[in-house]
Chains A and B, each alone.
Chain A
Amino acid sequence: MTDLPISVEKPRRSIVDMIYDPATRGLIFQVLLVVALFALGYEIVTNTIANLKKQNIASGFDFLGRTAGFDIGQRLIDYAPTDSYLRAFWVGLCNTLLVAAIGIVFATVIGFIVGIARLSQNWLISRLALVFVEVVRNMPPLLTLFLFYFAFLKTLPGPKQSIQLPFSSVLNVRGLSLPMPIWQPGSWLIPVALAIGIIASIVVGRWASARRIATGQQFPVLWTTLGLIIGLPLLAFLAAGLPVTFDYPVLKGFNYQGGLVILPEFMALLIGLTIYTASFIAEIVRSGIQGVSKGQKEAAAALGFRPGLAMRLVVLPQAMRIVIPPLTNQYLNLTKNSSLAIAIGYPDLVSVFAGTVLNNTNQAIECIVITMGVYLVISLVTSFFMNWFNTRMALVER
Chain B
Amino acid sequence: MTFLIKGGLVAVVALAGSVSAVFAQTKTLDTVKARGTLNCGVNTGLAGFSAPDDKGQWGGLDVDLCKAVAAAIFKDPTKVKYVPLTAKERFTALQSGEVDLLSRNTTWTMSRDTSSGLNFAGVNYYDGQGFMVKKSLGLKSAKELNGATVCVQTGTTTELNVTDFFRTNKLDYKPVVFEKLDETVAAYNSGRCDAFTSDVSQLYSERLKSPKPDENVVLPDVISKEPLGPVVRQGDSGWANVVRWTHFAMVNAEELGVSSKNIDEMLASANPEIKRMLGKEGDFGKGLGLENDWAYQIIKGVGNYAEAFDRNVGAGSRLGIARGQNALWNKGGQQYAPPIR
Q: Mark B87-116, 1 if CB is under 8 A from A, else 0.
A: 110011001000000000000000110111
Residues in A with CB closer than 8 Å to B111 are 362
Q: Which of A55, A72, A153, A154 contacts B95 (CB 8 A)?
A: A55
Query: Given contacts A340-B1, A356-B154, A359-B88, is CB(A73)–CB(B176) below 8 Å?
Result: yes
Are B192 and A342 in contact, CB atoms less than 8 angstroms apart? Answer: no
| B18 and A72 within 8 A (CB) | no
Which of B155, B178, B190 is within 8 Å of A344, CB to CB? B178
Q: Which of A153, A158, A351, A369 contacts B187 (CB 8 A)?
A: A153
Given contact pairs A55-B117, A153-B187, A264 touches B21 in the complex (Cβ within 8 A): no
Do A356 and B155 have beta carbons less than 8 Å apart?
yes
A332 to chain B, nearest CB (A): 11
Known: A52-B18, A81-B163. A73 touches B186 (CB 8 A): no
The contact string, 1 if C-beta is below 8 Å from chain B, for chain A 55-86, is: 11110000000000111110000000100000
Quick check: is B256 within 8 A (CB to CB) of the other chain? no
CB of B262 within 8 Å of the partner chain:
no
A72-B175, A350-B7, A368-B8 are known contacts. Are A57 and B117 too (CB-CB below 8 A)?
A: yes
With contacts A73-B177, A255-B148 known, is A173 near B19, CB below 8 A?
no
Evaluate contact between A69 and B10: CB separation under 8 angstroms. Answer: no
Establish whether residues A254 and B194, one from each chain, have CB atoms under 8 Å apart when the complex forms.
yes
Cβ of A150 to closest chain B Cβ, rounded Å: 7
Chain A hits for B11, CB < 8 A: 364-365, 368-369
Interface contact B155-A355, CB-CB below 8 Å: yes
Instruction: Write the A30-57 contact mask toward B (1 if CB under 8 angstroms, else 0).
Output: 0000000000000010011001101111
Which chain B residues in 1-54 approach chain A with CB under 8 Å?
Answer: 1-4, 7-8, 10-11, 14-15, 18-19, 21-22, 25
**Least distance between B72 CB and chain A CB atoms (Å):** 25
Query: Could you give, for residues 110-153 of chain A, a 1 whenever the CB lies within 8 Å of some chain B CB and a 0 otherwise?
Result: 00000000000000000000000000000001100000001001
Whole-angstrom distance between the alpha carbons of A40 and B306 in the complex?
A: 54
| CB contact between B3 and one of A44, A81, A350 (< 8 Å): that residue | A350
Per-position binary interface string of chain A over residues 138-176, scored 1 when its CB falls under 8 Å from any chain B CB and 0 otherwise:
000110000000100110001000000000000001100
Choice from B4, B92, B160, B235 contacting A56 with Cβ under 8 Å: B235
Interface string of A231-257 (1 = CB under 8 A from B): 000000000000000000000111101
- Asked whether any CB of chain B lies closer than 8 Å to the CB of A305, the reply is no
Asked whether B173 is an interface residue with its Cβ less than 8 Å from the other chain, the reply is yes
A365 CB to closest chain B CB (Å) equals 5
Q: Which of B88, B190, B235 contacts A355 (CB 8 A)?
A: B88
**A362 with B112, Cβ < 8 A, contacts A48-B18, A70-B160 known:** yes
Say whether B1 contacts A254, CB under 8 Å.
no
| Residue pair A359, B155 in contact (C-beta under 8 Å) | yes
Contacts of B175 in A (CB 8 A): 70-73
- The answer to whether B154 touches A368, judged by C-beta atoms less than 8 angstroms apart, is no
**A255 to B194, alpha carbons, bound, how many Å?**
9
Assess whether A354 is interfacial by the CB under 8 Å rule. Answer: yes
* Interface set, chain B 177-234, CB cutoff 8 A to A: 177-180, 183-184, 186-187, 190-192, 194, 233-234
Chain A residues whose CB sits within 8 angstroms of the CB of B162 once the complex forms? 71
Contact A351 B174 (CB under 8 A): no
Tell me which of B7, B148, B160, B178 has the highest count of chain A C-beta atoms within 10 A of its own C-beta.
B7
Q: Is the beta-carbon distance between B154 and A351 smaller than 8 angstroms?
A: yes
Bound-complex Cα distance A257 to B95 (A): 44
Interface residue A283 (Cβ < 8 Å from any Cβ of B): no
CA distance A288 to B22 in the complex (A): 56
What is the minimal beta-carbon distance from B7 to any residue of chain A, in angstroms?
A: 5
Contact in complex: A51, B4 (CB < 8 Å)? no
Tell me whether A359 and B154 are in contact (CB under 8 A).
yes
Instruction: Show 10 A/B contacts (Cβ-Cβ < 8 Å), sorted by A.
Output: A54-B22, A55-B234, A70-B159, A174-B149, A340-B3, A343-B178, A345-B176, A358-B155, A368-B11, A369-B11
Query: Given A54-B235, A153-B190, A339-B4, list of 10 further CB < 8 A pairs?
Result: A52-B117, A55-B235, A71-B159, A71-B166, A153-B191, A336-B4, A345-B184, A355-B177, A355-B179, A356-B177
> What is A's interface to B at a CB cutoff of 8 Å?
44, 47-48, 51-52, 54-58, 69-73, 81, 141-142, 150, 153-154, 158, 173-174, 252-255, 257, 264-265, 333, 336-337, 339-340, 342-345, 347, 350-351, 354-356, 358-360, 362, 364-365, 368-369, 371-372, 375
Give the top 4 A-B pairs by smallest Cβ distance, nearest first: A51-B18, A55-B117, A153-B190, A57-B117
